[in-house]
Copies of this chain bind each other. A is one copy, B any other.
Amino acid sequence: MRAFWEHGYEAVSIADLTETMGIKAPSLYAAFGDKRTLFEEAVEAYVRDFGAFSGQALTEEPTARRAVARMLREAAAFHTLPGYPRGCMIITAATNCTAQSEEVMRSLQGRRAQTVELLEWRIQEDIRSGELPGDTDAHTLATYGATVLQGMSQQARDGADRTTLERVAELAMAAWPAGRSDEEGEGGSAREA
């Protein structure tokens, strides 16, 4: 997983994997069957251990605004974990692809699209509930959230440190429209006028 995370799908060879895993090629193929299958399992392990924060933030927080704020804040941390590759595996692991690994690319592309759709759905939910004004552009807003998230991954890869990214995440939220629940006061949860 770490090898795929750092170098991407095609740039990691079977020889690299057998070397870092301490096993020989036949054992690897007996256990995983295929390089693609092994990659898919590595992706699922990554999502489980390091990539679940975005889905959790987008489902657990009460408003889309708080969800995105938390997602970006935690992304700053997860994209700069000490001792781990920088950036997000889902974003970077399949960007330079041959024709034969197009399916792998589209697989990760689907996962990214899933996150954007979930975010857009949360925004539309806030529009329906009156939390956000009725003329809010949900598609643009969701794309903006994904843009900042994926840009932070690239910046982490290029060496940006965690505190800088956390400040970027906080700054990015200044462009996000304030909802009804955080118009006055700042608790936003218990205080209802």
User: Beta-carbon contacts of A143-187 to B below 8 Å, as 1s and 0s?
Assistant: 110111111101101111000110110011111000000000000
A8-B95, A174-B174 known; A165 and B143 CB under 8 Å? yes
Report the Cα distance A150→B91, complex, angstroms.
12
A95-B92, A96-B8, A167-B137 known; A143 and B172 CB under 8 Å? no
Which residue from B93, B147, B172 sits with its C-beta under 8 Å from A155?
B147
* Cβ-defined contact, B147 with A168, below 8 A: yes
The interface residues of chain A, by DSSP majority, are classed as helix
Report the Cα distance A63→B96, complex, angstroms.
36
Q: Select from chain B the residue with minimum beta-carbon distance to A149.
A: B151
Report the Cα distance A155→B142, complex, angstroms.
11
* Cβ-defined contact, B10 with A158, below 8 A: no
Q: Select from chain B the residue with minimum beta-carbon distance to A109.
A: B158
Interface residues of A (CB under 8 A from B): 7-11, 13, 91-98, 109, 112-113, 137, 139-141, 143-144, 146-152, 154-155, 157-160, 164-165, 167-168, 171-175
Give 27 pairs: A residue, B residue, CB < 8 Å, sorted on A.
A7-B96, A7-B97, A7-B98, A8-B95, A10-B96, A92-B95, A93-B96, A94-B96, A112-B158, A113-B158, A113-B159, A140-B164, A140-B167, A140-B168, A143-B164, A143-B168, A144-B171, A148-B151, A148-B172, A150-B150, A150-B151, A151-B151, A171-B175, A172-B172, A172-B175, A174-B175, A175-B175
Top 8 A-B residue pairs of the complex, sorted by shortest distance between their CB atoms: A8-B96, A151-B151, A147-B151, A175-B175, A174-B175, A96-B96, A150-B154, A140-B167
